[in-house]
Amino acid sequence: MIAPELRTERLLLRPHRVEDFDRLAALYETPRSKHIGGPLTRGEAWRGFAGDVGSWALLGFGTWAIEVRADGAYAGQIGLNHPADFPEREIGWVLWEEFQGKGYAFEAAMCARDFAYRQLGWTTVVSYIDPDNERSIGLAKRMGATLDPDAPTPNDEGCLVYRHPAPFAGVE
């Protein structure tokens, strides 16, 4: 199974292509990647990328590339994740700097969350966020997620756990 294409008003969430890797690997080589497990070597980044793509075949969910529909620009990635060391399923995101501040992360994350609840039948999903990552904390809050201080973290890391509400609570 590969990632299905999902469309929002401005974005296409699409399966990753091998040419997406260079941009992601470049990000992982910078200090900016500290909020998403980096910095990583190119080889480590490749293994993570391959795991994200392969997750679709193994688990029926994974990551999408975020593409701006107006011009086809590759803007980042959004994912539904559950690596072996994550206590729960997670929504995670990363946008390239030039695409931040335009609402793309919110639009992509809401679409992915809706897919998780409506198409996959999930009953809960979290985001694991570095306490210093103010942008991601703000995004989780805008999505209606609330801090769950009692939730376990991957490998007992010092991250925050934001629990996302079902977008259709009370609706049959």
Evaluate if residue 57 carries a pLDDT over 70: yes
Residue 68 and residue 78 in contact, taking contact as beta carbons nearer than 8 Å: no
Q: pLDDT by residue (tens digit) across 129-143?
A: 999 999 999 999 999
Residues 38, 29: Cα–Cα separation, whole Å? 7
Distance CA 61, CA 55 (A): 6
pLDDT for residue 171: 40
Q: State the Cα–Cα distance between residues 3 and 171, nearest whole angstrom.
A: 27
Domain ranges, ordered by start, for the chain = 6-164
Q: Which residue has the higher pLDDT, 35 or 44?
A: 44
pLDDT tens column, 69-125:
999 999 999 999 999 999 999 999 999 999 999 999 999 999 999 999 999 999 999
pTM of the model: 0.94
Dihedral angle of Cα 80, 133, 104, 58, to the nearest 10 degrees: -10
Fold adopted by 6-164: Aminopeptidase (3.40.630)
Question: Over 80: is that where the pLDDT of 8 sits?
Answer: yes
